[in-house]
Each structure stands twice: as C-alpha cells, then as structure tokens.
Structure 1
Amino acid sequence: MINQLLHFDQEVFFFVNKALGNAFFDWLMPILRNKYTWIPLYIFIIAFSVGKYKLKGFYLILFLSATVGLADFTSAKLLKPTFERVRPCNDETIKDQVNARVGCGAGKSFPSTHATDHFAIAMFLIGIFRRIWKHIIAIGILWAGLISFAQVYVGVHYPIDVTVGALYGSLIGFLLAKIYKRYFQLEPNVEQID
C-alpha cells in the first residue's frame, strides 16, 4: 500500500513537473515560491491590522508570528529530520528526469515547510477575518495553494509533501486563530471589508 502511494506520488510529481511545463509557469512559479515576493503583503497585513484594530491588531500580529514560528519550527526541525525524505531533485533514482527550475538545496522533502507555513498563515487569517471579509477563504486558500503547487512544479517537493504540509499548517493556523479569538475577539459589528 505504501509503495503504491509513493509510486502514485511520483507519477503526479512528474505530471506537474514535466507534463505541465511551459514558459509562463517556468517564469511564474519560482517567483511565487520566493520568500521575498511576499514581503509587501506581510507589511500590508501588519499595517492594516495595527492601523485598524490598534492593540488587538498588535496582538493579532504577535499571534500570526507565533503561528508561523510554530509551523516553521516543527516542520523544519522536528518532522523533516524524523522522516528524512529526499527531495525529488536530489533523489539519485530520478533526479536526472526532474526539471529542477530552482536550486535544490540540501534539506529534506517531507513535509514541505513552504506549504506548512503559508497554509498556517492563510488559515489563521481566514479564522480571524472570514466573518468580516467573505473573500478571504478563497483568496487565502488559492494563495497558499499556488505557493505549494509551485514547490512541486520547480522540482523540490513531491505532491504528498505539500499536501501533508498544507494540512498540518492549516491545523496550526486554525488552532492559533481559535486561541486568539478566545482572548481578543475583533469588534462583532465591524463593517465588512470589500
């Protein structure tokens, strides 16, 4: 059963990494997965939260930082060393077939820390703002999903890596949002964000 799952995982990986290959994705996907691409978004989230919600917004940013810190640390420092799955671009049995569109790096593959971190961010923000901004669910999942897809496309992760990372990060984001809301509920009658 495990071997069948890993074989399927590899087939889906090659479909994304090779069969879906095109010049536009070759340009876009490395940008989407680059941590520096999203710095303006993070600055906006900080400015918006603190500017609109003052002290509650400051605590929101602290909780969001704790969410990312917990997701990142446990994924990179606890789970990856435990499972020690080799990245597809470093796997001696297939690396010659992989379209490595970015540097592979020496890190392990399972779970994807990119997927874990970005789904943790998305799910935290969804948990906080879903009642006052109806589009955040679709936008948050699409944003984190595209970053996760990019990890497979560029050749550094298998689909199972990003799927488990997405689920794990979502759990962390959901739980930290619940804790935040227990102590720092935003105003219930705040106008909806368009």
Structure 2
Amino acid sequence: MFHQIQEFDTHLFLALNGLHTPWLDTLMYYVTQRNTWIPLYVVLVVWLIGTYKQRAPGMIGSLVLTIIIADQTTSSLFKPLFERLRPCHVTYLQGKIHLVVEGCGGTYGFASSHAANSVGLAMALYLLVGQRHPWVHWFFAPWAAAVSYSRIYVGVHYPLDVLVGSLVGLAAAVIAVKSVEKLLALKKRTA
C-alpha cells in the first residue's frame, strides 16, 4: 500500500514538475524564495499594528507561534523521522526532473516547511481577522497555494510532501491562535 502511494506521488510529481515554461520558471523561482516575501510580512505587521493597536501584539504572537510550530514540526520532527529523500536527490529521477533552483536543499523533504509555513500563516490570519476582513482570505489562500505548488514546480518536493506540510500548517495555526487567545484571556482575568 505504502509503495503504491509513493509510486503515485512520484508520477504526480513528474507530471506537475513537467508542466513548465521559461516565463513560469522565472516566476516560480521568485515565488519559492523566502526572502521574496519579506516586504509582504513587513506590510502585514504594520497593517496589524495600525488596524488593531493594542490587540496587535497578540495577533503577531499568534502568527509567530504558528510559524514556529509549523516549521519545527516539519523540519525538526518529520524530516529526520521519515527520512524521505527529496525528488531531486533520488538517483533514478535525475534526468527526469526540471530543477529550477540551484541546489536541492536539505536531503529530506517530507514534509514541506514552505507549505506548512505559508498555509499556517494564511490560516492563522483567517482565524484572526478573516471574518472582519475577507480580502485577507482571498489574498493569502491563493498566495499559500502558489508558494506550496512552487515547491513541486521547482523540483524539490513531492505532492505528498506539500499536502502533509499544508495539513501541519493548518493544525499549527489552530493550535497557536487558540493557545494565544487562552493565554491572553487568562492574563486578563489575573490582571
């Protein structure tokens, strides 16, 4: 059963990774780079502070905790535990992969930290402000999907890596937001 899932995942990876064009290579190269999004994060933090004033530190804390949980779960727990090679490190796939980025990243890829972090951030924002500001969901959900898909496109993650990373991100957001809310409510009661 596991072998069949892995085989399907490899075939799906090759199909999705094979859908490439020069202009999309350039776009996905930048979409997949973490530093590309620093200005977006700065604007987001400034917007939260300007819009939510005293509530902003708790919201920003929720976002930071989401990323810590998502990133550490995928990088420090899953990758060393499962030791699943990234597709770009698999010998028999070498001539079949369209690798857009230089280097392949770490040896192991299950699960995708990029997917966990981006989906976690999008979900945390939805939980925090999505009801009041629907545009946040309409912007960050496709953004998280693009960042997640870029990992397959550039050749460094299987679809299952991205799917599980996304699920980790969703769970991390719920845990972080609820934990910070409970902590702030407890602090308010004891003050």
TM-score by length of 1: 0.89
> Hey, what's the Cα distance between the residues in 2 that align with 1:109 and 1:176?
24
Give distance in 2, aligned partners of 1:93 and 1:44.
43
Q: Are 2:12 and 1:15 equivalent residues in the alignment?
A: no
Query: How big is the shift at 1:181?
Result: 4.0
C-alpha offsets along residues 66-100 of structure 1, whole Å, 9 cap, x if unaligned? 11112111210111000000010110121221111
Q: State, as a whole percentage, how many aligned pairs show the same letter.
A: 34
Structure 1: 5+ residue runs without aligned partners? Answer: 186-194
1:47-126, aligned counterparts within 5 Å?
A: 47-102=46-101, 103-126=103-126
The 3 A distance-change label for structure 1 pair 139 and 184 is farther
Given that residues 84 and 110 in structure 1 are in contact (C-alpha distance below 8 angstroms), is that contact kept between their aligned partners in structure 2?
A: yes
| Cα RMSD after superposing both structures | 1.5
* Letter matched to residue 114 of structure 1: H
| TM-score, normalisation: structure 2 | 0.90
Contact persistence 1:119–1:141 (CA under 8 A)? yes
Query: Pairwise mapping of residues 139-154 of structure 1 onto structure 2 (< 5 A)?
Result: 139-154=139-154
How many residue pairs are counted as aligned between the two chains? 184
Q: Which residue type is aligned with residue 51 of structure 1? A: G
Contact 1:112/1:162 (CA < 8 Å) preserved in 2? yes
Q: Tell me, in whole angstroms, the C-alpha distance in 1 between the residues paired with 2:183 and 2:56.
A: 12
Alpha-carbon contact 1:128-1:181 (below 8 Å) kept: no
